[in-house]
Chain A
C-alpha cells in the first residue's frame, strides 16, 4: 500500500559542488537556531548554530545564514562529499538558553559521486 507521511524535500548535488538547504521558521520570537545532520540509522548530530543577533556564521565547510525579516534560515555546505548525504534539520527555540527546541521536517541531501 501507499505509505503516507511527511514529504521530505530532497536535494541532489554533484560531489564537489556547493549545496544550500533552506528552512522557513514560523515563530518570529525564535532567537536561537541550530542545524542538525541525521545519517541513516543514527541520531541527529549538531552541525552549527546561530543566534538572532547575527545573520551569518561560518564553520568548517558550512555556513548558516539567517534572515529574520522573512524568517528564513539556510545551511550552505561547500565542496560536498559523499559523507554529507543525510537528512538535515533546522531547529529553533525562543529565549536563548531555553532548552525546548522545535525541529523542522528536514531535507534529504544526496551527494552524487
Chain B
C-alpha cells in the first residue's frame, strides 16, 4: 500500500486565492482526518469523516475552510479566500478501526500564503 497520499506537497499562493488540498486515504480505511500543524498551536484536528460523512468539524477555524469527502478514496480541504495566517502544514490521516491502533498520516502539504 502506498499509504495516505496528499497533494500537492508544497503550495505557495497569494492572499485571497482559493487553495485546494487533496488526500487519498489508505484503501479500506473508513475514517479520514484533516490536521493542521503550526509552531504556535502544534497539531490541531480540523475535521474528520467516518464512512465519508463529516462527524466533527468543530476544529475548522472559520467559514473560509471547507472539506468534502465525495467517496471513500478522496477528500479535499479548501480554503477560500486564503490568508497569510493559514500558512501551515496540513496533514491528512486515515484509520480503519475507529482510531484503534492510531492513524496513518500522509506526508503533509506545506501551505504558504503570501
Contact = CB atoms under 8 A, between A and B. Distances in A.
A60 B62 CA distance: 42
Contacts of B100: 32, 96-97
B107 interface: yes
A6 B39 contact: yes
A25 interface: no
Interface residues of B, number: 29
B40 A99 contact: no
Interface of A: 3-6, 32, 34, 36, 41-46, 49, 89, 91, 93, 96-106
26 contacts: A3-B39, A5-B39, A32-B100, A42-B107, A43-B105, A43-B107, A44-B105, A46-B102, A49-B102, A89-B43, A91-B102, A93-B99, A96-B100, A97-B97, A97-B98, A97-B100, A98-B99, A99-B33, A99-B55, A100-B45, A100-B48, A100-B56, A101-B45, A101-B99, A104-B42, A106-B42
